[in-house]
Structure 1
């Protein structure tokens, strides 16, 4: 694919969580596309995924500490804030609430007080996921699902944070916000999706499949999500430049949420098998054992009970059974129309890059041990 043309500077950009998986890719994409910008990274610890570019600076900071956050904002004086920080999905509920909800409100206050122009929040596509309803081309008109109706507390806190971000839009009148909702993120540095799939291949687990593989699912390569964030930042800055004019509702970005995916929903197990094939799996489909949803659920329930006693998590859980057999894909038409979004990396190429990165890291570890 031809290189995208350079675009004007984004000014001073503060990437919250910029040493994490998505955040570090956003930093790299800003360096690549907006080399006239100044980038600051705020993270709890900034020792991982550092970018060597001279336009990037790093600041250790806990986003739940208002004084510390305000100190960084006073130093950086950002025009744009891109907030990607979030605890691990399996963290304790109090951590999710403290970081995702309270931490986001602290960042909003600091941004409002320091005259930030644009605030882009990384939400989650799962904020509309209802356990009783499959997501078929879900768009931004679907209601948020949280509280007692949402089985994942992490997702509830992402929804509460998104609400806070969008309600803060135009308060004050020159503070503009929006939310990006990524789905099924994977790529280089991914610590949740691809590594688990490659590990399953290493353990010889590719011979099993749950369900009939008739459920479409969204997986999104990380650079496409980073691309969506930068388009959102550019759109907010453009809107800021024409204030006090308010764009038409059909064109508006500020105060809005956007699903960002690869726009290529695939059958769940087709994606898994593409990952396994890239990792070296050549098992013929005729050798694959199909477990029914009910049988897999029963096995997951039993394993969770046994492993709970041992203080561990099994390879097969009820949540994994549910996600691998449900339909879950989203419409990106709103992002196409209002942000000018189109995926820049296809699914096959994303899988090749992501799995290739894992194999490269494994080879480096072998060489290190062999020295």
Structure 2
């Protein structure tokens, strides 16, 4: 390879050398764990359009048409033999696969631990054993956030102490990110190279076709459950459009290469649209765009947190027999009702990340094109859930009058 580049340098200008290097990079093979999910598949399609070879590694096949030269391999990152087999010959891994982000998944601690921690260890081991020199890990804001107010935080913030994480997902994602960044610089087996790693910490992902959060929100709207908001109107959070997140991952992988002096190696980056907004105001265009009135009732966040706690306790008792979807978990209450937003300065300076401006118009159109947006009457279950909420409010108020032990 060196002699070929020396020959090229003697016959081409610097700009042409950069073009050749870029074309070579575009022919690299990328493995995307969790590649059949919303974000993973979007990333795969973007890389594919630029000429890269793509392997999707997931427990389920993609739910949309896949270009012929994108390879899907069914597998589980918890099984090292499967990881080892699929990673052979890969140039760069995007490790996106995780479990337990929201809803009832947050309450399955055993599976969360196995996927997020053991699975990540398998990926790191396989990269080292099979000479993969680049790994980009998709982390989360939650590695530093546990319900405390953060305004314009940056990457100098310490990890939240593990025992303070309000949910197991955040705790295990923190452990996984630590392992990924610690592995940076590991010598590759039977190779003169080393493993370069970095981690991206995205905000909540949105975009047309997103399948985790937005359908759940629209379901609440259509069932008449979305009757109130909570927390202070001044509380601010962040979101990231899927295409901005795709761009950040591509830039991070590129910044791990020798051409970019490995500038992202060993680094973590917060990634968002860079526009802090009240969580409920962010979704106002979606609510009103589908033809529903935006709630006027605002409840204290302490009340909703108490309701989420009761819901989790009920799920713990009856979950083994009936695994229902909690209306909210305690972590979701924190993430949506407590101010936490972060600076993009490091990502802009080191990755050349420039988020493009997006809104929810395309999301509204996506749902409308699938028959959503019709008015509906309150269902029995929505009224039942509202009744539970108000009973919880009564109990919380009653408890506040009880004497404190030892006073």
Q: 1:99 aligns with which of 97, 100, 115?
A: 115
Name 2:336's counterpart in structure 1.
324
Larger radius of gyration: 2
Show CA shifts across 1:292-332 (max 9, x none). 23443444455555666664344355444433320011111
What's the offset of the Cα at 1:268? Answer: 1.6
**Does the residue aligned with 1:100 lie in a helix, a strand or coil?**
helix
> CA separation of 1:107/1:157 partners in 2, compared to 1, >3 Å: closer, same or farther?
same
Name 1:289's counterpart in structure 2.
297
Asked if residue 352 in structure 1 is aligned to residue 368 in structure 2, the reply is: no
Separation in 1, partners of 2:177, 2:313:
34
**Does the residue aligned with 2:143 lie in a helix, a strand or coil?**
helix
TM-score (norm 1): 0.83
**Does the residue aligned with 1:67 lie in a helix, a strand or coil?**
helix
TM-score (norm 2): 0.76
Name 2:274's counterpart in structure 1.
263
Show CA shifts across 1:167-205 (max 9, x none). 111211432111111111122332332112212221234
Name 1:119's counterpart in structure 2.
135
Separation in 2, partners of 1:273, 1:352:
11
Separation in 1, partners of 2:179, 2:305:
36
Show CA shifts across 1:198-220 (max 9, x none). 12221234442213311011011
Cα contact 1:127–1:146 (8 A) shared by 2: no
Asked if residue 16 in structure 1 is aligned to residue 23 in structure 2, the reply is: no
Name 1:202's counterpart in structure 2.
222
Name 2:208's counterpart in structure 1.
188
Cα contact 1:194–1:355 (8 A) shared by 2: no
Q: 1:129 aligns with which of 134, 145, 151?
A: 145
Any residues of structure 2 matched to 1:1-371 within 5 Å, and which? 8=23, 9=26, 11-32=28-49, 34=50, 36-45=51-60, 47-74=61-88, 77-89=89-101, 90-91=105-106, 92-131=108-147, 133-172=148-187, 173-237=193-257, 239=258, 241=259, 252-281=263-292, 283=293, 288-302=296-310, 311=319, 312-344=324-356, 346-348=357-359, 351-362=360-371
Separation in 1, partners of 2:162, 2:154:
21
Separation in 2, partners of 1:82, 1:155:
19
What's the offset of the Cα at 1:122? Answer: 0.6
The alignment's C-alpha RMSD in Å is 2.4
Separation in 2, partners of 1:307, 1:236:
43
> CA separation of 1:84/1:163 partners in 2, compared to 1, >3 Å: closer, same or farther?
same
> CA separation of 1:139/1:49 partners in 2, compared to 1, >3 Å: closer, same or farther?
farther
Cα contact 2:146–2:334 (8 A) shared by 1: no
Separation in 2, partners of 1:14, 1:23:
10
Indicate the larger mover: 101-110 or 318-327.
Answer: 318-327
Gaps of 5+ in 2: 1-18, 188-192, 373-407
Cα contact 1:279–1:355 (8 A) shared by 2: yes
Separation in 1, partners of 2:87, 2:325:
40
Indicate the larger mover: 298-307 or 319-328.
Answer: 298-307
Cα contact 1:213–1:268 (8 A) shared by 2: no
Indicate the larger mover: 306-315 or 218-227.
Answer: 306-315
Indicate the larger mover: 150-159 or 320-329.
Answer: 320-329
Cα contact 1:70–1:110 (8 A) shared by 2: yes
Name 2:15's counterpart in structure 1.
none
Cα contact 1:218–1:328 (8 A) shared by 2: yes
Count of residues in Structure 1 that have an aligned counterpart in Structure 2: 337
Cα contact 1:206–1:276 (8 A) shared by 2: no
**Does the residue aligned with 1:353 lie in a helix, a strand or coil?**
helix
**Does the residue aligned with 1:13 lie in a helix, a strand or coil?**
strand
Separation in 2, partners of 1:169, 1:87:
24
**Does the residue aligned with 2:246 lie in a helix, a strand or coil?**
helix
